[in-house]
Amino acid sequence: MRPLANIRVVDFGQLTAGANTSAMLADLGAEVIKVESAGFMDLFRSMGNNRNTVPAWWNRSSQFRFTNRNKRGVALDAKNPDGRRVLQDLIATADVVVENFRRGVLERLGLDYASMAVRNPRIVFASISSQGETGPYRLHTSFGSTLEAMGGVAALTGYDGDKPVVSGPHVNYPDQVASLFATGMIIAALREARRTGKGALLDISQRELTSFLVGEEILAASVDAERVDLPRRGNADEAMVLQDCFLASDGRWIALTIENDIDAERCRAIVGWNEGLGDCVASWCVVRPASEAADVLSAAGLAAALVSDGASLIRDRRLAGETLIWCENGEIVKGRPYSFDDAPLNISRDAPDLGQHTREVLSEVLGLDETAIQHLAELGVTRSEPLEL
Amino acid sequence: MTKNSAPTAVFEDMKPLDGTVILEVGNAQASVCLRLATSFAGKIASELGAKVVKLEPFGGDSVRYAPPFLPSGPDGERSALFKFLNAGKTTLSMPSGSAAARATVDALLSGRVDGVLLEEDSGLKASFAEHPLALVEIAGWPAGMPAITRLSEFTALALGGLLDMIGEPDRKPLRLGGHQASYSAGLSVFTALMALLAERDAGRRPPPARVSLIETAIWLNWKAIAGIDDEGKPPTRQGSQSEFQVVRCLDGWIAVVFSVTQFEKLRDLVNKPALHHEKFATREGRLTHMRELYRYLEPWFAVRTRAEVYHEAQSRGVPLGPVCTPADLITDPQNVARGFIVSLPDAPVSGARVPRLPVLWTGNIRTLTSKLQEMVVL
């Protein structure tokens, strides 16, 4: 299942929103060339505790390696005019560009859609930004959690009557969903480009996507003054009789949803009738180990589950399906959230070291000879160690 | 003064899925969390121009009666959730009984159908598999796992480890607001559908695809695995020990978000001598003294509005985020400039507004160039 075979992606993607979009295209058969430089690496390379403690630490970050497998990587300094020319030549051969720089960066380098589409009108240019290509906030800076606040999800997340909560740096929810959405849009645009010979600029605002994911609340608030400023309600859901986490005797948490009156009756038959339903469940759970409590509730046909953590997720490979891939060297990398019957995901390359494939790409893709490659090296354009160690 | 370009439509001429027909096939036995994922994926296809035919299970889609509700309108027409997900689709009702249901599906398949979004149903899956369609099956559990255990969006988030990541370490795990488990699965469904259609374009028969809510939640939560330390300890919810805190301001709340290299800018913004103490100079120091750090930061926010904080922070390159309610988003200057909130046609209440598809799609270079020239530069 390689629907994107023969598609070349020039990947300026950083962190999750950009780099993971390109990884998903690679998993569908596209040839992905990740572009970094000695002065500007993917920020994931600097994360974790490896910095300056292991040799070539910039190639060892687990977040980088999780995300960038199945790609080749080049180091080309776009600030150098020769480097820029090489990049323009590379984009001229490509079908897709993925980027999530701050707005204006690619324009200044002459690598933006308007400049590149003149030379390559069939290019699909996915610009994934904080708040979009246009509008008064287009140049504003953000992280995932900024957009969770500004996009409306944080206002709906939090303990009962308490302050809003963001998912934080270990989740950065808006970045994860951005790569899923952008991948779908890019494939739609590629199909169109194949049909018409005409590419497109996909101006994807992560803040808009975050808001789109609470669209029904925007609709309700647009016509109902009572929904303009709702208090947060913890784990409760208006549609459910009861929904919450309950502590078990071993300190683990059980998640339980009671959807309707039939569920409530079934639950009452287990936890008793003494107090309110939630209090009864809490008293019943707290004297039992979590797995026993979850088993009893599930066996009664209720939606109940142990709350997993990262360590338990890697213990149950069946549950992970194809979302995580265990490599032969024991390393775990990211898989994908969908699977195809009889067509398992193939991870054929580890994430590239900085500039690992520069020479290969310059020669094979752009046809540069040894003299030209050597010239770029002498100019420092293809340096493959970070400038600031 | 600056001039905003306000695109009024996502697309300039043809939409990318014009002419494409997608069937959404509801299963009366399936949990509502699968329906929301199916409907969300179908909604995206519909906004891209596909004709989406929604086959509601016998008795109707239960989401028609699900909150939030519009303040008025006939019964079964008041669910804002249903309206948001299904506006623009053609809806049909499945007859009672599996034979009649299959006959309805067969009749639809005799016309043009490019893709099918099917809520887990092994019988119907086999009959669709006979056709060269892009078929995506939506399930709760990963393939090969017994699906007898009931699933909700909430328990999918629990099993995917996402609940563990949000909230205070000494309080309950907390869910994200809205329908994130189902909608993120819906994004997976849509992307898988596009991959299958591209495979079909290449002249090959696409294999069926499968998306489960649990797998999508695990996939979103990959940092919980990538972040496991040398002793096997995974990251978990940090709450008030996190660098990112939500603090009070005059008219609401601000998410305080900053990178290692942005702390100095934040310190200069708040401009309080105590913040220059060496215990706050490194990230390790700040993590050790997080509560104290925020005790110095909070008073500055308490006397400013969200707008004041946001604009002062942005002028210094600090990515603080004012907490916007869904209502705030309707009048937000950026959303207004980008034409992001649009009228909902055929709503039972006047003034109903929804977000458009979150992409502006420009295929015409000349239009783009003039748009870029009009663009606001602050």
The CATH number for B190's domain is 3.40.50.10540
Query: Is A351 domain-assigned?
Result: yes
Mean pLDDT of B82-100: 91
Between residues 61 and 90 of chain A, which touch chain B (CB distance below 8 Å)? 62-63, 66
Is the domain of B67 the same as that of B179? yes
Q: Is the peptide bond preceding residue B68 cis, with omega within 30 degrees of 0?
A: yes
Question: Are both A148 and A88 inside the same structural domain?
Answer: yes
Q: Judge: A220–B68 Cβ closer than 8 Å, yes or no.
A: yes
The SS3 of residue A175 is: helix
The residue of B218, B263, B343 whose CB has the most chain A CBs within 10 angstroms, and thus the best one to mutate to test that interface, is B218
Q: Indicate if B252 and B206 belong to the same structural domain.
A: no
Asked whether the beta carbons of residue B338 and residue A135 sit closer than 8 angstroms, the reply is: yes
d(CA B357, CA A379): 45
How much is the pLDDT for B371? 54
Bridge partners of B212, per DSSP, are: B139
pLDDT at B261 over 90: no
For residue A6, give the amino acid letter.
N
**Do B121 and B218 fall within a single domain?**
yes
pLDDT confidence of residue B355: 97
Residue ending a domain, among B170, B193, B223, is B223
User: What's the rounded mean pLDDT across residues A8-30?
Assistant: 97
Residue carrying structure tokens 């800018």: B265
CB pairs under 8 A between A and B: 520
Given B302, B322, B342, which residue is the final one in a domain? B322
**Above 90 in pLDDT, residue A275?**
no
A347 touches chain B (CB under 8 A): no
Q: What is the pLDDT of residue B11?
A: 64
B344: pLDDT strictly greater than 60? yes
For chain A, the average pLDDT equals 95
Across residues B43-47, what is the average pLDDT?
97
Looking at residue B364, its pLDDT comes to: 55
Same domain, B127 and B163: yes
Q: Tell me if chain B has a CB within 8 Å of the CB of A378.
A: no
Q: Which of A20, A49, A66, A150 best tests the B interface by mutation, with the highest count of B CBs <10 A? A: A150
Q: What is the pLDDT of residue A104?
A: 87
In terms of pLDDT, which residue wins out, B378 or A385? A385
Q: Which pLDDT band, with edges at 50, 70 and 90, does A243 fall under?
A: very high
Across residues B136-147, what is the average pLDDT? 90
Residue A384 lies in a domain: no
Arithmetic mean of pLDDT, A87-92: 98
**Residue A4: what are its φ and ψ, rounded to 5°?**
-105, 20
Chain centroid to CA A343: how far? 23
Structural domain containing residue B300: 239-322
The verdict on A307 and A353 lying in the same domain is: no
Around A61, how many Cα atoms within 13 Å sit in the side-chain half-sphere?
20
- Which CATH number do you get for residue A269? 3.30.1540
**Beta strand B90-93 pairing with A303-306:** unpaired
| A301 part of contact set with chain B, CB < 8 Å | yes
Q: Pick the range with the lowest mean pLDDT from A93-97, B69-73, B145-149.
A: B145-149
Cβ-based contacts of B349 with chain A (< 8 Å): 223
Report pLDDT digits (tens) over B207-218.
Answer: 999 999 999 999
The CA distance from B251 to B322, in Å, is 10
pLDDT at B100: 86
Residues B135 and B159 in one domain: yes
Asked if residue B271 and residue B198 are part of one domain, the reply reads no
Instruction: Identify the domain boundary among B188, B223, B258.
Output: B223
Minimal C-alpha gap between B197 and chain A (Å): 9
pLDDT at residue B201 greater than cutoff 70: yes
Residues A280 and A344 in one domain: no
Q: Are A66 and A332 in contact (CB under 8 A)?
A: yes
pLDDT band at B378 (very low <50, low <70, confident <90, very high): very low
Q: How confident is the model at residue A326 (pLDDT cuts 50, 70, 90)?
A: very high
Q: Between residues B374 and B353, which one has the greater pLDDT?
A: B353
Note whether A246 and A187 are same-domain residues.
no
Share of chain A above pLDDT 90, in %: 91
CA–CA distance, A135 with B234 (Å, rounded to integer): 40
Pair A281, A346 in one domain: no
Report the CATH number at residue B273.
3.30.1540.10
Question: What is the Cα gyration radius of chain B?
Answer: 24
Residues of B in contact with A257 (CB under 8 A): 152-155
- Please report, to the nearest 10 degrees, the dihedral formed by the alpha carbons of residues B199, B200, B203, B206 taken in order: 70
> What are B357-373's pLDDT values in tens digits?
999 998 655 555 555 54
Selection from A134, A135, A153, A136 nearest residue A144 by Cα: A153
> Are B238 and A205 a contacting pair at CB < 8 A?
no
In B, which residues are within 8 Å of A253 by CB distance? 158, 163-164, 172-173
For residue A221, being part of any structural domain is answered with no
A118/A204 same-domain check:
yes
Show residues of chain B in contact with A50, CB under 8 Å.
none
The pairing of beta strand A72-75 with beta strand B21-25: unpaired
Based on the structure, what is the number of domains in chain B?
A: 2
**Span B225-242, pLDDT tens digits:** 999 988 889 999 999 889
Q: Are strands B341-343 and B321-322 parallel, antiparallel or unpaired?
A: unpaired
C-alpha gyration radius of chain A = 25
My answer on whether A85 and A138 are in the same domain is: yes
Confidence category of residue B1, pLDDT binned at 50, 70, 90: very low
Cβ contacts (< 8 Å) between A245 and chain B: which residues? 158, 163, 172-173
Claim to verify: residue A185 and residue A260 sit in the same structural domain: no
**Stretch B114-127: mean pLDDT:** 90
Look at residue B10 and tell me if it is in a domain: no
Instruction: Tell me, yes or no, if A331 comes closer than 8 A to chain B by beta carbon.
Output: no
Domain shared by A34 and A79, yes or no? yes
Judge: A219–B184 Cβ closer than 8 Å, yes or no.
Answer: no
User: Is A313 part of the contact surface with chain B (CB cutoff 8 Å)?
Assistant: yes
pLDDT tens-digit profile of B346-355? 888 899 999 9
For residue A34, the model assigns a pLDDT of 98
Residue ending a domain, among A312, A344, A362, is: A312
Pair A206, A128: CB distance under 8 Å: yes
Q: Is A281 left (phi over 0), alpha (psi -120 to 50) or beta?
A: alpha
Contact A164 B323 (CB under 8 A): yes
**Whether A134 and B191 lie within 8 Å, measured CB to CB:** no
State the alpha helices, DSSP H only, in A152-260.
173-196, 206-212, 215-223
Instruction: List all residues 6 or more positions away from A144 whose beta carbon is below 8 Å from its beta carbon.
Output: A16, A17, A167, A171, A172, A173, A174, A175, A206
Scanning every residue of chain B, which has its alpha carbon at the shortest distance from the alpha carbon of A66?
B226
Residue A247 resides in a domain: yes
CA dist B306 and B158 (Å) reads 33
What number of other Cβ atoms are within 10 A of residue B96's Cβ?
12
- Percent of chain A at pLDDT above 70? 100
Q: How far is B99 from chain A (nearest CA, A)?
A: 26
Contacts of B224 in chain A (CB under 8 A): 170, 309-310, 313
Least confident of B9-18, B21-30, B47-56, B157-166: B9-18
How many domains would you assign to chain A?
Answer: 2
Residues B54, B203: one domain? yes
Average pLDDT over residues A359-373: 98
Contact criterion met (CB below 8 Å) for B209 and B137: yes
- Residue B8 has a pLDDT of 41
CA–CA distances in Å: residue A348 to residues A280, A314, A345, A351 = 52, 21, 9, 10
Question: Which parts of A207-336 are beta strand (E)?
Answer: 242-247, 253-258, 303-306, 324-326, 332-334
Q: pLDDT tens for residues A193-234?
A: 999 999 999 999 999 999 999 999 999 999 999 998 889 999
**Which H or E run contains A379?**
none
Residue B12 has pLDDT above 80, yes or no: no
Question: Count of H helices and E strands in chain A?
Answer: 16, 12
Structural domain that includes position A148: 8-212+325-378
Q: Output the pLDDT for position B125.
A: 86
**pLDDT value of position A204:** 97
Secondary structure (H, E, C), chain B: CCCCCCCCCCCCCCCCCCCCEEEEECCCCCCHHHHHHHHHHHHHHHHCCCEEEEEECCCCCHHHHCCCECCCCCCCCCEHHHHHHHCCCEEEECCCCHHHHHHHHHHHHCCCCCEEEEECCHHHHHHHHCCCCEEEEEECCCCCCCCCCCCCHHHHHHHCCCHHHCCCCCCCCCCCCCCHHHHHHHHHHHHHHHHHHHHHHCCCCCCCEEEEHHHHHHHHCCHHHHCCCCCCCCCCCCHHHCCCEEEEECCEEEEECCCHHHHHHHHHHHCCHHHHCHHHCCHHHHHHCHHHHHHHHHHHHHCCCHHHHHHHHHHCCCCCEECCCHHHHHHCHHHHHCCCEEECCCCCCCCCEEECCCEEEECCHHHHHHHHHHCCCC
pTM above 0.90, yes or no: yes
Mean of pLDDT over chain B = 90
Tens-digit pLDDT profile for residues A94-103: 999 999 998 8
With beta carbons under 8 A apart, name residues in chain B contacting A157.
166, 174-177
Q: Which chain A residues are Cβ-neighbours of B335 within 8 angstroms?
A: 208, 211
Residue B51 inside a domain? The answer is: yes
Tokens of B304: 């400013």
Specify the DSSP element, H or E, that contains A199. none
- Over 70: is that where the pLDDT of A167 sits? yes
B269: pLDDT strictly greater than 70: yes
Mean pLDDT of A234-262: 97
Evaluate whether residue A120 is within a structural domain.
yes
Which of A288, A312, A336 represents a domain boundary (last residue)? A312
The rounded distance, in Å, linking the Cα atoms of B269 and B258 is 12
Q: Are B14 and B20 in contact (CB under 8 A)?
A: no
pLDDT for residue B4 is more than 60: no
pLDDT 10s digits, B159-175: 999 999 999 999 999 99
Residue A373 distance to chain B (closest CA, Å): 33
Same domain, yes or no, for B143 and B215? yes
CB-based contacts of A103: which residues, under 8 Å, 6+ apart?
Answer: A129, A133, A138, A139
In which band, very low, low, confident or very high, does the pLDDT at A68 lie, cut at 50, 70 and 90?
A: very high
Q: Is residue B378 domain-resident?
A: no
Q: Is the pLDDT of residue A190 over 80?
A: yes
Query: Cα(A39)–Cα(A354) distance, rounded to whole angstroms?
Result: 11
pLDDT band at residue A53 using 50, 70 and 90 as cut-offs: confident
pLDDT recorded at residue B104: 87
Residue B126 has pLDDT above 90, yes or no: no
Residues A162 and A259 in one domain: no
Structural domain contains residue B160: yes
CB-closest option in A172, A200, A227 to B363:
A200
Indicate if A281 and A354 belong to the same structural domain. no
B7 confidence band (pLDDT: 50, 70, 90)? very low
- A77 and A188 inside one domain: yes
The pLDDT, as a whole number, for residue B13 is: 65
Q: Considering CB atoms only, which of A219, A304, A321 is closest to B352?
A: A219
Under an 8 A CB cutoff, do A237 and B154 touch? yes
Lowest-confidence segment of A322-331, B124-133, B158-167, B292-301 by average pLDDT: B124-133
